[in-house]
């Protein structure tokens, strides 16, 4: 008797087994991006916000390379949908109302489990046959170990033992991300917090411990640090413009906070949309850091700089595709003429660092507008929008104006005029009378 020919699936079983593991790792990284982004606008420390943005961007890189390598392997699958068991864990992770408790869940439970899953992959695969995957995973392990070190100063695990135990129990029911451990049945009294209520973005973002206001821009030099006419007035001292533009850059933390809300609201978005938004988010965090780190060098006490909250407060009232349209087609596209004038004026100072920071800011913003032209039609479709892009953008701009009347200008100055940084204070700081 002639033995039956082995099935193609049997011949490729070793590849398919590893491809299935890579698929889960891709989904775990992808949903980390979608949900850990909710931490950004809920934590107050700008340095922590910047770090979270960096980690999200690096996780987006992990997911992209896993997808690219996975598609070379039989069994990875063609779609990008995250399985219910992975999404269930991440949907639970966002639920604490205290941002630092939520942070402890992500970085005290889920990220260590992801690191363990990557290590399991290395142990399970063949060092030569699967060499391309191994080299990627080795790099991702180094990133995950660094993420843990970088986040350690911000973690307060001792303050969140109940929540971290709860999340660990939920993950243990799946046997870890890759099922590399024995699954533990959920206790009879286990209750999913995500089944009890729906996650909602907070009505305002967290900027503690810094003072806040509605806007850092105005026409009154006694009111705010950025005086709109001064930015384009050829008579304004270039040193004044440099300080004002560093405040402007620092206030790109507004963009960080409201852009971060879009990920969670678009769970069915193409992965490449979230990938590019993660890059956009990381860029905006770097731009904010330009100002945050340069202002003290020029004699500004950061505790005198009020953080503006209006854009978040207004945009969080809008649908995700409307937020994205305002960001890319209105705020960023509309900033180029003024920023071009500012860049020319600052060049008068022969300040190489300022020139460099502004050049990279402009380059990044041009890319962000390109993202908007590419992705806005798709994110509109996710929101059920059928109007043309032009009609939609025009209507969204008008809607923003109306919402601003209700939700804008509601944050009073935290500091009195004599204590907060204003245009007049900037004049004094640079020695202009």
Q: What are phi and psi of 212, to 5 degrees?
A: -130, 165
Average pLDDT over residues 325-337: 91
3-state secondary structure of 422: coil
More confident residue, 158 or 299: 299
| Percent of the chain predicted with pLDDT > 90 | 93
Identify the CA nearest to 38 among candidates 183, 234, 155, 205: 205
Mean pLDDT of 330-352: 93
Closest CA to 295 of 424, 428, 426, 427: 426
Both tokens assigned to 61:
């890189």
- Structural contact between residues 393 and 379, judged by C-beta atoms closer than 8 angstroms: no
pLDDT in tens, 198-220: 999 999 999 999 999 999 999 99
Please state the separation of Cα 137 from the chain's center in Å.
Answer: 23
Of the candidates 231, 229, 225, 227, the residue with the CA atom closest to the CA atom of residue 211: 225
CB environment 336-361: b (16+ within 10 A), e (fewer): eeebeebbebbeeeebeebeebbeeb
Region 144-156 average pLDDT: 97
Angle at alpha carbon of residue 392, lines to 389 and 396, rounded to 5°: 135
The pTM assigned to this predicted structure is 0.95
Q: How far apart are CA 242 and CA 225, in angstroms?
A: 12
Segment 413-432 shows an average pLDDT of 95
pLDDT at 5 over 80: no
Mean pLDDT check: name the lowest of 12-16, 34-38, 61-65, 359-363. Answer: 12-16
Backbone angles phi, psi at 226, to 5 degrees: -105, 115
Share of the chain above pLDDT 70, in %: 97
Q: Reply yes or no on whether the pLDDT at 412 is more than 70.
A: yes
CATH number of 14-180: 1.20.1260.10
**What is the C-alpha to C-alpha distance for residues 313 and 407, in angstroms, rounded to an integer?**
6
Dist CA 382 CA 384 (whole Å): 6
Peptide bond into 28 cis (omega under 30): no
Identify which of 364, 308, 372 has the alpha carbon closest to the alpha carbon of residue 336.
364
Selection from 267, 265, 272, 364 nearest residue 324 by Cα: 265
Q: Which helix (H) or strand (E) holds 308?
A: strand 307-308
User: Rounded mean pLDDT of 415-426?
Assistant: 96
Residue-level pLDDT at 334: 86
Please state, rounded to an integer, the average pLDDT across all residues of the chain. Answer: 95
- pLDDT exceeds 70 at position 2: no
Beta bridge partners of 227: 218
């Amino acid at each position: 008797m002639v033995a039956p020919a082995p099935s193609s699936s049997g011949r490729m079983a070793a590849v398919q087994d590893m491809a299935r593991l890579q698929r889960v790792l891709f989904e775990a990284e992808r949903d980390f991006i979608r949900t850990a982004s909710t931490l950004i606008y809920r934590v107050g420390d700008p340095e922590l916000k910047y770090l979270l943005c960096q980690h999200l961007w690096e996780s987006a890189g992990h997911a992209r390379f896993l997808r690219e390598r996975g598609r070379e392997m039989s069994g990875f699958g063609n779609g990008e949908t995250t399985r219910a068991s992975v999404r269930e864990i991440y949907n639970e992770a966002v639920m604490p109302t205290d941002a630092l408790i939520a942070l402890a869940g992500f970085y005290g439970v889920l990220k260590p489990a992801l690191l363990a899953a990557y290590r399991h992959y290395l142990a399970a695969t063949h060092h030569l046959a699967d060499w391309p995957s191994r080299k990627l995973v080795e790099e991702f392990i180094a990133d995950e170990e660094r993420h843990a070190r970088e986040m350690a100063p911000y973690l307060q695990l001792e303050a969140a033992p109940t929540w971290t135990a709860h999340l660990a129990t939920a993950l243990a029911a799946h046997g870890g991300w890759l099922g590399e451990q024995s699954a533990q049945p959920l206790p009879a009294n286990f209750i999913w917090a995500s089944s009890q209520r729906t996650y909602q973005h907070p009505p305002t973002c967290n900027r503690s411990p810094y003072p806040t206001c509605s806007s850092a821009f105005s026409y009154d030099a006694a009111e705010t640090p950025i005086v709109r006419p001064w930015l384009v007035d050829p008579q304004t001292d270039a040193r004044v413009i440099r300080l004002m533009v560093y405040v402007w850059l620092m206030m790109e933390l507004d963009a960080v906070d409201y852009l971060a809300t879009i990920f969670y609201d678009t769970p069915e978005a193409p992965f490449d949309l979230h990938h590019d938004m993660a890059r956009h988010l990381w860029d905006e965090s770097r731009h904010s850091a330009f100002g945050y780190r340069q202002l003290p060098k020029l004699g500004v006490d950061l505790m005198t700089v009020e953080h503006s909250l209006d854009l978040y407060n207004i945009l969080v009232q809008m649908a995700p595709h409307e937020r994205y349209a305002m960001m890319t087609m209105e705020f960023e596209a509309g900033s180029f003429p003024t920023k071009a004038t500012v860049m020319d004026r600052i060049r008068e100072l022969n300040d190489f660092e300022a020139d460099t920071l502004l050049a990279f800011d402009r380059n990044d913003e041009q890319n962000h507008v390109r993202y908007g032209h590419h992705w806005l039609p798709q994110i509109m479709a996710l929101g059920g929008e059928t109007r043309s892009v032009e009609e939609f953008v025009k209507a969204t701009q008008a809607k923003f104006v109306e919402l601003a009347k209700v939700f804008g200008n509601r944050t009073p100055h935290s500091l009195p005029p004599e204590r907060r940084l204003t245009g007049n204070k900037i004049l004094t700081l640079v020695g202009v009378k």
